[in-house]
Amino acid sequence: MYVLNTWYVAAWSSEVTRKPVKRTICEQPIVLFRTQDGTAVALADRCAHRAFPLSEGRTIGDSIECGYHGFTYGADGMCTKVPAQSTIPERAKVRKYPLVEKDGWIWAWTGDPELADPADVPDTHWMNDPEWATVTHSVHFACRADLIHDNLLDLTHESFLHKTTVGDDYIYEHGITVEVQGSVVSVDRLMPSVAAPPLYAETMDARGLFDRFHCTEFFVPNLHVLHSGITGEGKPRAEGYLIKVLNGITPIDEHNSWYYYAFSRNFALDDAQATKDLHVGLETVLREDADALQAQELGMQSRPAGEFDVLIAQDGGVAKARRILATLIKREQAAAAQPVAGAKA
């Protein structure tokens, strides 16, 4: 089950052109394309005629033409042309999804369109800020989105899974502070007087001891913003090498997810080698996560009924986020079960 009344990252802005692009979000097939003036459009990827994917068709003007029998739909989802006849059936229309294009991402609203508020899209301005340099990746994860959320809220796995890049044993030796504000869960960890991890040491040329920190803000259920970095021992975080890691997690179905990743830094902005090293190193991190979570997904599918995770103190953020997610789903289900005003019993 998914939270539907929220914004999910559907694609990078650069991925959506005049050529139709197929996406599946929360088991809903969606086609994305741009109109002639560059406006991004998202429609249900299923022709009203015989359910052929519109993503297999082409754009004509501001419309999309089905590649099977030529039914044509405008940007509002209404059919404007049926080549085989002059009249257009009343039911010849497809769902239009609300979209927000911001900071290089295109966000789609998968629930009740009347509830879609662009102001609810989280802040990701670092990707589009000239004071920050950004490396990006997109990865298909063969696992449910919940496992990615857990992974990002419990970063002690870095000590074991990412030893050559961002990991070190001292991570799990330091505790966390968990805060909740509405549907945002923050998990903060300070690691004082430690060496920079290998990837940071190379790209920052950071030698000696530093205070390392990371604070994951989880905007349940769609985005994690990791405020991370290193600073001088005892110095304020704002004076250090700062990193904002943006993790857009979009469910495809119950066993697959899209992971949209951006790593923004406030140092070595014009250092092409640092950017290259980070691109390669972070791709390694993401691939290690993807492989581990795929294995975990298979383990979850074969786990006996009634057997559950054994949570520890480091899972404080995980536990709180799970409760919020469950509450949001339960609330949506309750609202959907309410009778429509004026409907006959």
Q: What is the pLDDT of residues 272-306, one digit of tens each?
A: 999 999 999 999 999 999 999 999 999 999 999 99
Predicted confidence at residue 275, as pLDDT, reads 94
Query: Which position has the token pair 């990412």?
Result: 162
Cα–Cα nearest to 290, from 261, 329, 320, 313: 261
- Structural domain 7-119, CATH architecture: 3-layer Sandwich (2.102)
Cα–Cα nearest to 296, from 150, 136, 96: 150
Terminal C-alpha separation, the chain: 27
CA distance readout (Å), 266 to 133, 238, 257, 259, 283: 7, 11, 29, 23, 20
Predicted confidence at residue 13, as pLDDT, reads 98
Q: Check if CATH label 3.90.380.10 holds for domain 124-329.
A: yes
For residue range 145-155, what is the model confidence (pLDDT) as tens digits? 999 999 999 99
Predicted confidence at residue 199, as pLDDT, reads 86
Residue, of 206 and 83, whose pLDDT is higher? 83
Using an 8 Å Cβ cutoff, are 190 and 174 in contact? yes
Q: What are phi and psi of 127, to 5 degrees?
A: -65, -20
- Domain ranges in the chain with CATH number 2.102.10.10: 7-119
pTM exceeding the 0.85 threshold for the entire prediction: yes
- Domain ranges in the chain with CATH number 3.90.380.10: 124-329
- Counting residues of the chain whose pLDDT is more than 90, the rounded percentage is 91
Predicted confidence at residue 341, as pLDDT, reads 58
pLDDT band at 50 (very low <50, low <70, confident <90, very high): very high
d(CA 104, CA 2): 25
Residue 238 burial by Cβ neighbours in a 10 Å radius (0-12, 13-18, 19+): exposed
For residue range 177-206, what is the model confidence (pLDDT) as tens digits? 999 999 999 999 999 999 998 888 888 888
Q: What are phi and psi of 104, to 5 degrees?
A: 100, -5
pLDDT at 77 over 90: yes
148 CB-near residues (< 8 Å, 6+ apart): 141, 247, 249, 257, 259, 289, 293
Token duo for residue 146: 């919940």
- Read off the DSSP letter of residue 51: -
pLDDT band at 345 (very low <50, low <70, confident <90, very high): very low
Query: Which position has the token pair 């405020």?
Result: 227
Cα–Cα nearest to 257, from 114, 98, 130, 138: 138
Q: What is the total residue count of the chain?
A: 345
Predicted confidence at residue 240, as pLDDT, reads 93
- Of 169-183, 306-320, 328-342, the poorest mean pLDDT is in 328-342
Q: What is the mean pLDDT of residues 61-77?
A: 98
